[in-house]
Amino acid sequence: MKKIEAIIRPSKLDELKEALGRFNVHGMTVTEVVGCGLQKGKKEIYRGTEYTIDLLNKVKIEIVVKDGWVEDLIKLISETAKTGEIGDGKIFVQAVENAVRIRTGESGEAVL
């Protein structure tokens, strides 16, 4: 099992969710996050005093899938969330040791 963690533009969430649904991925955790990366901050003026907005709003989507799905999903997420401008986000993949469905107690890939 692998966990795919994608940090994307908030405006891309609906589109990506739909695309994942078509791919038969229905379980996910979505978090609103703020962060910085290549996009850096921007300077604004409030009442004549300059300030920096350096943490920008992003959405983090976490999905856990079978190993074999990872490559296709990365491709899907990249294509869907891409605008080509700085600030499109990143995808991280990590190994997952186990998964447990709380309601039934079953574990492993069966719960995905």
Binding site for another protein (CB under 8 A): 10-11, 13-14, 17, 28-34, 44-51, 57, 59
DSSP 8-state code for residue 107? B
Nearer residue to another protein within complex by CB, 43 or 68: 43
Report which of 57, 51, 52 is spatially closest to residue 36, judged by C-alpha positions.
Answer: 57
Instruction: State in angstroms the smallest separation of the CB of 59 from another protein.
Output: 7
What is the smallest separation between the CB atom of 43 and another protein, expressed in angstroms? 10
Q: Are 3 and 64 in contact (CB under 8 A)?
A: yes
Least distance from C-beta 8 to another protein, angstroms? 12
Rg, the chain, Cα only:
17
